[in-house]
Structure 1
Amino acid sequence: MKKINAIRKDPDVMNLLSRLPDETALSLTDRQLSHIKVAVGNGGYRKHKIDCRGTIPIPFYPSRIYFVLLMGRNIRAVTRREKSIALMTTLFLTTLFLSLSTLLGLVVLYILKSALGIDLFEGSSLGLWNWLKQNFG
């Protein structure tokens, strides 16, 4: 934590004080400033890999539209809801991957069985091997 008497040199506090009237800025104690800084935020989330800000004029209208594009590593604490959603998504994707992998493995084994001429049930076939020979063989 910063020293109390160094709080006036902090960039966030200096920015705040520059926007206040001089008499108000001078009347605030270092302790009050440190509490204001904590209440408003310490600016820890201001360092982004991509920080693109700008304004776009609206034709025939005196106002402008502003845009902000921020991208960077998420360093916030994960909420209970976000953890729950992440767990459910991971379980769903894992189940989907395992199901599709199993299905693909069974199809490959069936094609291999058919290519070797092994007939497990006399007279029954899915016709996959014949379809593959017709279209690709």
Structure 2
Amino acid sequence: MNIKNDPAINSFLQRMPEKVQKTFTDEQLMHLKVAIGARQWGKHKVDFRFVLSFFSYRYYIVFLSGRNRRDLSVGEQRVSIYFQALFVALVALFSSCIFLLVIYMFKSALGIDIFDDYSSGVWSWFKELFK
């Protein structure tokens, strides 16, 4: 990949005369990208910034959210996989609970009793909502 096609470097080079642009080597541009890359925020879907004053101190708070375009380290990839697995497990658990509740409500609406003289009270509560 040609470093001059990189969006950050291209934007950087467009702000200077063409004869100066041509004087940079690819190695110099790579080092410039590393140096200015940490300062580029880019555009985020959520970009919330404010300053909080506390007595004589001022603190800035930044909340950014958007698509991650960075390369993840091995440790970050591992943590990401664990959180994805946890998220999928929680969604599956929530979906299963909702499914079981719908099946239970359907069974109760049809008047089917699995255990004689036992009710969890969910059907009674649900009927009371619509009286």
Please give the TM-score of this superposition, normalised by the length of structure 2.
0.54
Aligned length: 102
The residue number in structure 2 matching 1:38 is: 31
Deviation at 1:135, TM superposition (A): 2.7
Gaps of 5+ in 1: 3-9, 15-29, 57-64
1:37: Cα distance to partner? 6.3
Q: Secondary structure at the match of 1:76?
A: coil
Residue among 96, 99, 105 paired with 1:105: 99
Paired letter, 1:105: F
Q: CA deviation at 1:97?
A: 0.5
Q: Gaps (5+ residues) in structure 2? A: 4-11, 17-23, 52-57
For 2:77, the equivalent position in structure 1 comes to: 83
Give 3-state SS (helix, strand or coil) of 1:41's partner.
helix
Match of 1:127 in 2: 121
- Displacement of 1:69: 6.8
Report the CA distance between 1:81 and its aligned residue: 1.3
1:1-137 pair list within 5 angstroms: 34=27, 38=31, 41=34, 43-44=36-37, 46=40, 48-49=42-43, 74-137=68-131
Q: Percent identity?
A: 28
Aligned CA-pair RMSD: 4.1
Deviates more, 1:38-47 or 1:83-92: 38-47
Highest Rg: 1 or 2? Answer: 1
